[in-house]
Structure 1
């Protein structure tokens, strides 16, 4: 059956999926199950040439374009109604160069894909907390992960990116070529083009000593105070976060605590393995432990630890902030709302972004918040749409209470679609420069399905 996309089919080697195709329903689904959008076409691109052809076709047809790399976007920015989705599901390869300790990632790779490839060489770079998170989206928004205190954000380890711009051009962006675009890509999100390849600096990380320690939520303030002091002075090889959950159904936690409010410390020691037990013992002594899983692990095992609990299709609503410090007031808010986590899948984490993250200047990349110590996320996730009102209310009320003690902006990778009003605050003084770069590479705001930066007026 012919349709309006036949001319596009003639110019791409990838598959163009439309509503009449048997796999359309599967192809249009994204990670957040509450997103129910119907694109006119999903293009499973096979080559950069396909991306260029699709961008040019969408321009001429006046259609919106959404970019789906890992597909993990909580606001559902990897899809749209009535437009075209550029889908990189078939492009998830990772090539490692062990001599230069670098890796080249295709745009559809997840951190599980990336870590599997680099681990074979005893190497890694800062990636996400969940293995199913996309490498590209996380990096373009900054990239917080277990290795951030030691090696900086994902975007701090980005060496080069290939980009297809709004006018269909292919550009290489790095420190020497298109340096303004390279600066903007490191934290500015998907505003500037379709990223078709990323090159990263890697670091020697293979086996780690770490895992998860679970405490009762009644000890949340004491555990939080301990954690705050620990992370302020610990060696940068210790990358651990404070979190609030319902007790997971895991064998190392007694069954009577499954589904009950708990607080956790999760992460890794990446220094001398012989020091691992001593580095984790203070955490185990912070309060009475309900259960723990701590020991020597391959780094990829830590990065996928939560994946079985967080399958594709859960309902989701997220909020985020930055905290200069984990004050007593903020801890009291965390203890209050952390004791009321509404579902097994929901989580509230306080990620540390001191150490190496703070050694990068605020204007060296688009990621401006280099003077704060924590990036909290309130990640509401649950299976039943009937629970949407109650779960969304918990996220919103928690964020309102915590924001009193937070910075104006937050981490864009943890924000939802209704946070567009915060976009200038998220970039502080870098916003005006980002708007200028946007005007250079996308003056008509063709790429607007994102935490959108408005092009500066010429």
Structure 2
């Protein structure tokens, strides 16, 4: 049911940001997210310039009785960052990044994108595990957990969240840390969109080499490719955690480095990065590169910012998208051939079938230490269907379902909500599990008992109904 702004409260005269309404020329651009499948029309888009503006925006939505949504980068596949007929808080004007090397942290505002964050931190030879596409927002990524290329070595992004400035549902401005409201910090580390608008993040920094040995080796996806995946599994499960890897089924792109006879053909890519001295990486990667000899070897020294941008070409703004994020107990033989077969049925040139290798530092954090969970899963299956026209949708949606079925023997039952399109209570339970969900509901009762922050993978307060369930 579409909400409308009727006679009621006025936006505070102290609000210094932009207010964009449906009749304004910039409205369509202001309401858009990356997933072109999402076409929602908020009643009002508010673009704050600072935390005080955010307080005004939250107060207005609460007093007007309108659904409130918050957008950082707008990459969330479920499209929860824009609510139909509600108030959209667009944080894109809040992009400051301040480095505090003596503390080993960077303080960044809520609208910063990962490419912008990385550009600043690498000036000092430092980085935080972050999004694998540069246009991803720091905010939503961090609050949902955050798996990045550096995660097997330095943990999830939320593991590196040491403090935050938060505007709560009742309009309070709080600093949250291990010493101040530590239980709320626990919730922000994986379920944070449910508890407030984070206007600034304090993220731990890690030293990083000026260049990393990284890239991918691409081979044809044929009936014989199962041996490649089995060989990959044998190598990476015994390797140093600094060898960060993933598998990807793709169609060979029309790039200069791709032989013309391979363009558009199904391929299997092994993505790899050595998080350390590139000289050490040469030896660490040798088993993989030797096994893939004869393939298109694109591994080379590159700045961390280039690694972070490596998949940007597969994330065009405005294309239609459908993804999943499913934790795997392993990579058993029975999933390998079905995975490759689905990869040979890719239709769109932007669609990918990714299997990330995790473990390492992700699994060394205790399961109950953060709201983000499923830490013992060594792999994640991440089908990314991305297509240009509505006519392609039926095939692409079915492709994701086929991909998910291929991995059924390995599924842990847990999901990574940042990659999940579903927002029902069942989806939320799969993301957190029963024990954490009970703890999160208790915190929701304390910090947001009227469910002001509900346009998300919602944790409904006691007695409240998940809005997604009412739409099911």
Query: Do the structures match in fold with TM over 0.5?
Result: yes
Equivalent in 444, 450, 463 of residue 444 of structure 1: 450
Shift of 1:5: 9.0
Greater alpha carbon shift after TM alignment, 6-15 vs 360-369: 6-15
Shift of 1:421: 2.3
Distance in 2 (alpha carbons) for counterparts of 1:419 and 1:345: 28
**CA spacing shift, 1:296–1:427, aligned 2, 3 Å:** same
In the alignment, which residue of structure 1 is the partner of 2:105?
Answer: 102
User: Is the CA contact 1:64–1:83 (under 8 Å) kept in the aligned structure 2?
Assistant: yes
Shift of 1:356: 0.6
In the alignment, which residue of structure 1 is the partner of 2:390?
Answer: 385
Does 2:68 match 1:62? no
What SS does structure 1 have at the residue aligned with 2:112?
A: coil
Q: Deviations over 1:366-414 (max 9, x none)?
A: 1121211011111111111221111111112221332342011211111
In the alignment, which residue of structure 2 is the partner of 1:455?
Answer: 461
Shift of 1:189: 4.1
Distance in 2 (alpha carbons) for counterparts of 1:418 and 1:170: 28
Does 2:257 match 1:244? no
RMSD of aligned residue pairs (Cα, Å)? 1.8
Shift of 1:333: 2.5
Shift of 1:11: 2.9
**CA spacing shift, 1:5–1:71, aligned 2, 3 Å:** farther
Q: What is the count of residue pairs matched by the alignment?
A: 457
Shift of 1:169: 1.0
In the alignment, which residue of structure 2 is the partner of 1:197?
Answer: 200
What SS does structure 2 have at the residue aligned with 1:440?
A: helix
**CA spacing shift, 1:12–1:4, aligned 2, 3 Å:** farther
What SS does structure 2 have at the residue aligned with 1:445?
A: coil
Shift of 1:100: 2.2
Q: TM-score, normalised by structure 1?
A: 0.96
In the alignment, which residue of structure 2 is the partner of 1:44?
Answer: 47
What SS does structure 1 have at the residue aligned with 2:291?
A: coil
Shift of 1:457: 4.8
In the alignment, which residue of structure 1 is the partner of 2:218?
Answer: 214
Does 2:362 match 1:370? no
Equivalent in 253, 256, 259 of residue 261 of structure 2: 256
Q: Deviations over 1:39-93 (max 9, x none)?
A: 0011011010111111111111000011001111111111111100000111122
What SS does structure 1 have at the residue aligned with 2:74?
A: coil
Shift of 1:287: 3.3
Does 2:119 match 1:119? no
Task: Please give the residue correspondences for 1:28-427 in structure 2 after superposition, counting only pairs within 5 Å.
Answer: 28-205=31-208, 206-218=210-222, 219-417=224-422, 420-427=425-432
Shift of 1:455: 1.6
Gaps of 5+ in 2: 465-472
Q: TM-score, normalised by structure 2?
A: 0.93
Does 2:22 match 1:16? no
What SS does structure 2 have at the residue aligned with 1:394?
A: helix
Greater alpha carbon shift after TM alignment, 146-155 vs 225-234: 225-234
Distance in 1 (alpha carbons) for counterparts of 2:425 and 2:399: 20
Q: Deviations over 1:220-259 (max 9, x none)?
A: 3222212222221211211111111111222222122122
